[in-house]
């Protein structure tokens, strides 16, 4: 199996497991852990793509909710400090990438002429 095939197979397996998790979570789990979801069904299909993508995270959070380990402190600590880091990294990264791209540009070497290095060594006729 080539690496490309392996990667695509990995994605299919990931999505396949996600489908199983989605089936379980959206029919059983969601009602157990979120009161607002009880009796609300129309929005559930909308959640399927996310479960397919982040199912390990879904399982982990589901476990935390079931075991009562979700602490309220954690909900009120937004990652605001990284704003400052992003404020610098983003412009620096953007400039670096564009400059790198521009430096890699080549111009068509129209003035380089073909050079004959040697005369024919054999003649096939």
Interactions with another protein, residue window 28-87 (CB under 8 A): 33-40, 42-43, 46-47, 49-50, 52-54, 57-58, 61, 70, 72-84, 86-87
Nearest distance, CB of residue 19 and another protein, angstroms: 14
Token couple for 120: 């024919």
DSSP state of 10: H
Rounded distance, CA 23 to CA 59, Å? Answer: 12
Contact between 19 and 56 under an 8 Å Cβ cutoff? The reply is: no
Contact between 53 and 18 under an 8 Å Cβ cutoff? The reply is: yes
Among 2, 67, 68, 69, binds another protein (CB under 8 A): 2
Residues 80-119 binding another protein (CB under 8 A) are: 80-84, 86-95, 97-98, 100-102, 104-119
Size of residue set near another protein by CB under 8 A: 77
């Amino acid at each position: 199996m080539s690496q490309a095939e392996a990667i695509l197979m990995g994605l299919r397996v990931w999505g396949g497991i996600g489908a199983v998790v989605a089936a379980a979570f959206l029919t059983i789990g969601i009602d157990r852990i979120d009161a607002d979801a009880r009796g609300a069904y129309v929005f559930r299909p909308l959640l399927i793509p996310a479960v397919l993508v982040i199912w390990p995270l879904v399982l982990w959070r589901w476990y935390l909710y079931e075991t009562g380990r979700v602490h309220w402190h954690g909900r009120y600590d937004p990652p605001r400090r990284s704003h400052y880091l992003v404020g610098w990294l983003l412009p620096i990264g953007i400039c670096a990438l564009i400059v790198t791209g521009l430096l890699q540009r080549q111009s068509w070497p129209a003035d380089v002429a073909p050079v004959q290095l040697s005369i024919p060594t054999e003649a096939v006729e």
